[in-house]
């Protein structure tokens, strides 16, 4: 994605020397107020007055769109809702396995769905879906309306639409389709290097008991051990409700982005097409910044750390934290930013669009 975002990515505030722990919710709240307190108040005033917005989150698969939306809501307050198309389909799939849920959806589709298949046939499409086969755009639109009906008069972060080229025209008029006439909409573009996503997948581990997901390299637990036989460090689950099992890699994760490369390439092409569209305000966010510019525009604690491991003199495994360097998609040596730092830019740009 070609984006001039060094200016937009600036999070450093002149005179602010306090450091914040961005993994701690209390400290993170103080961080948002210190960095963008003025913009947060402006957005809160806008939303509390009854005004709304529709924001389309545009980025490649696994780029963290949902995480950024949730952090925005954490900073500004529960004055908007995150609508994930993937979650909608999964939730609908679960609900229609019960007679009551199936009847409720069919009744809704009879009133709101327009397409070449009957509501009963669309139910079969949902039940028979696969990761490689998308359900029709007409059905997606109906399911979006179905989900939004649960959150009346809310501002929306729509995550995962458009996901195919034929959905691009729908996205331009979606706010009218879902009954949000006169509400400003905005495209939010996420620039995340594929190397970041690849590393996240390759180094993530999961608890076999409680299914908690962490990352050996990027998101460790508080418990680390060393397997002398295999000469490898490992994480133990620290979920308080879990007995503390050794976390393991998911089958196929060693392949990184390869199984989803085609999807990533499609997402990237759709993003480039949407950037050409006039008449819709745009927000540009980037997850990584060149190392040579980092000290000028971000604080050290906003950089994603890489966690390495070593044995101390007693033979105990300990964690060593260092800045994580990656190559962006242009091959430039860069630092990956923690999600909270990216949300600073999101808050600034949305406030500028909505409240000026």
- pLDDT tens for 95-142 read 777 888 788 888 888 887 777 878 777 777 777 654 444 577 888 888
What percent of the chain is predicted at pLDDT more than 90? 49
Which letter, b or e, does each residue of 180-204 get, where b requires 16 or more Cβ atoms within 10 Å of its Cβ? beeebbbbbbbbbbbbbbbbbbbbb
Instruction: Supply the pLDDT for residue 7.
Output: 52
- Assigned domain for 333 exists: yes
> Domain holding 276: CATH number?
3.40.50
- pLDDT tens for 140-175 read 888 888 888 888 888 999 998 888 888 888 788 888
Q: Which residue has the higher pLDDT, 96 or 350?
A: 350
- Assigned domain for 122 exists: no
Q: In degrees, to the nearest 5, what angle opens at C-alpha 250 toward C-alphas 191 and 304?
A: 35
| Confidence class for position 329, pLDDT limits 50, 70, 90 | confident
- Spatial distance between the Cα atoms of 49 and 33, rounded to a whole number of angstroms: 21
- Assigned domain for 127 exists: no
What percent of the chain is predicted at pLDDT more than 70? 95
Which letter, b or e, does each residue of 322-335 get, where b requires 16 or more Cβ atoms within 10 Å of its Cβ? eebebebeeeeebb
Q: Give the phi and the psi of residue 158 in degrees, each rounded to 5.
A: -100, 115
CB proximity list for 293: less than 8 A, separation 6 or greater: 6
Report the number of distinct structural domains present in the chain: 1
- Assigned domain for 167 exists: yes
- Assigned domain for 188 exists: yes
Of 175-184, 251-260, 305-314, the range with the lowest mean pLDDT is 175-184
- Assigned domain for 46 exists: yes
| Confidence class for position 271, pLDDT limits 50, 70, 90 | very high
Alpha helices in the chain (DSSP H): 25-48, 65-76, 85-95, 99-112, 119-127, 137-148, 168-172, 174-177, 194-203, 261-275, 291-297, 339-355
- Assigned domain for 227 exists: yes
Instruction: Supply the pLDDT for residue 133.
Output: 47
- Helix/strand/coil (H, E, C) string of 31-57? HHHHHHHHHHHHHHHHHHCCCCCEEEE
Tell me the residue range of the domain where 284 lies: 25-79+154-355
pLDDT over 80 (residue 3): no
- Assigned domain for 228 exists: yes
């Amino acid at each position: 994605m070609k984006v001039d975002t060094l200016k937009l990515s600036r999070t450093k505030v002149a005179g602010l020397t306090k450091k914040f722990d961005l993994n701690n919710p209390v400290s993170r709240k103080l961080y948002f107020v210190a960095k963008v307190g003025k913009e947060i108040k402006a957005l809160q005033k806008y939303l509390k007055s009854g005004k709304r917005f529709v924001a389309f989150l545009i980025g490649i698969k696994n780029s963290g769109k949902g995480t950024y939306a949730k952090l925005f809501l954490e900073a500004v307050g529960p004055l908007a809702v995150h609508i994930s198309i993937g979650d909608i389909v999964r939730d609908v799939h679960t609900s229609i396995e019960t007679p009551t849920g199936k009847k409720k959806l069919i009744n809704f589709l009879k009133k709101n769905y327009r397409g070449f298949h009957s509501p009963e046939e669309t139910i079969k499409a949902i039940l028979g879906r696969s990761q490689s086969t998308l359900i029709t755009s007409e059905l997606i639109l109906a399911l979006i309306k179905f989900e939004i009906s649960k959150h009346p008069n809310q501002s929306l972060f729509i995550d995962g639409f458009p996901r195919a080229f034929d959905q691009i025209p729908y996205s331009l008029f979606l706010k009218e389709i879902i009954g949000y006439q006169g509400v400003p909409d905005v495209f939010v573009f996420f620039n995340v290097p594929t190397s970041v996503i690849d590393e996240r997948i390759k180094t993530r581990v999961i608890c076999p008991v409680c299914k908690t997901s962490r990352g050996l390299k990027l998101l460790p637990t508080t418990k680390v051990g060393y397997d002398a036989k295999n000469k490898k460090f490992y994480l133990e689950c620290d979920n308080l409700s879990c007995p503390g099992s050794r976390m393991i890699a998911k089958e196929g994760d060693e392949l990184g982005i390869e199984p989803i490369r085609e999807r990533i390439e499609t997402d990237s092409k759709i993003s480039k097409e949407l950037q050409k569209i006039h008449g819709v305000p745009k927000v540009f966010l980037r997850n990584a910044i060149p190392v040579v510019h980092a000290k000028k525009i971000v604080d050290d604690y906003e950089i994603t750390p890489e966690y390495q491991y070593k044995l101390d003199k007693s033979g105990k495994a300990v964690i060593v934290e260092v800045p994580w360097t990656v190559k962006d998609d242009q091959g430039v040596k860069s630092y990956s930013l923690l999600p909270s730092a990216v949300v600073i830019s999101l808050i600034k740009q949305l406030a500028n669009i909505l409240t000026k």
